[in-house]
Amino acid sequence: MILLAVYMQDKEFGLVIVITSIIFAVFGVIGILRFIWNKK
């Protein structure tokens, strides 16, 4: 909801925030998967 509001106010800046948040989410998932894989 917050991201959507920011995106509505300033489209370019909002898009940057959305992309960076997606990248962080992807890296977070990869990190968790690696951690689980290393525990096996």
Mean pLDDT of the chain: 82
Q: Compare 38 and 16 and report the one with higher pLDDT.
A: 38
Whether the pLDDT of residue 14 is over 60: the answer is yes
Global pTM reads: 0.53
Q: What's the confidence (pLDDT) of residue 36?
A: 94
Q: What's the confidence (pLDDT) of residue 17?
A: 81
Domain ranges in the chain?
Answer: 2-39
- In whole angstroms, give the CA distance from residue 22 to residue 15: 11
pLDDT grade, residue 18 (50/70/90)? confident
In the block, which residue shows the tokens 């989410």?
25
| Residue 24: both structure tokens together | 């962080």
Q: What's the confidence (pLDDT) of residue 13?
A: 72
